[in-house]
Amino acid sequence: LAHRSSFKTNMEKAAPSPELLKRWQEVSTPCTLVVAFGSWCGDSQRELPDFLALMAEENPFVKVVFLGVYRDKKVPTGSWPEGLESEPVMKVPTFWLYALQPGGSSRLVGSIVENPPRKGQAMGEAVVELLEQAR
């Protein structure tokens, strides 16, 4: 994505609020966030920078796995995280959240497909809300 001018512009503007950063840091449920994106996709170029700015503050409980997909939405073989049930990619970006369960299995908590669920909502906020559901 770094070679796309719109992505660069959106990265320069991305700045999560102190309140959102605090909520991000308060997530303490071990989980994996799988993010499917396309460097060719305008929605990915627009939505990912806000989330990436949030990720600049590390949270040891949140493992993030990025899956670059082709225009046909195919995930390269062997890319899906081991131990998690793979999901079909219909649109990008898509975020899937899996929470670690007792015994080591993971359950799908929910997903965000293409855009934040509320009009005007930033993707970082939408992802934090999804993470908060894993409690």
Q: What CA–CA distances, in Å, run from 72 to 1, 3, 48, 75?
A: 18, 21, 20, 9
pLDDT tens per residue across span 46-103: 999 999 999 999 999 999 999 999 999 988 888 999 999 899 999 999 999 999 999 9
pLDDT tens per residue across span 9-53: 887 888 999 999 999 999 999 999 999 999 899 999 999 999 999
pLDDT for 77 equals: 83
The DSSP 8-state label assigned to residue 3 in this structure reads T
Distance of CA 39 to the CA centre of its chain: 15
Angle at 20 between CA 129 and CA 126, to 5 degrees: 30
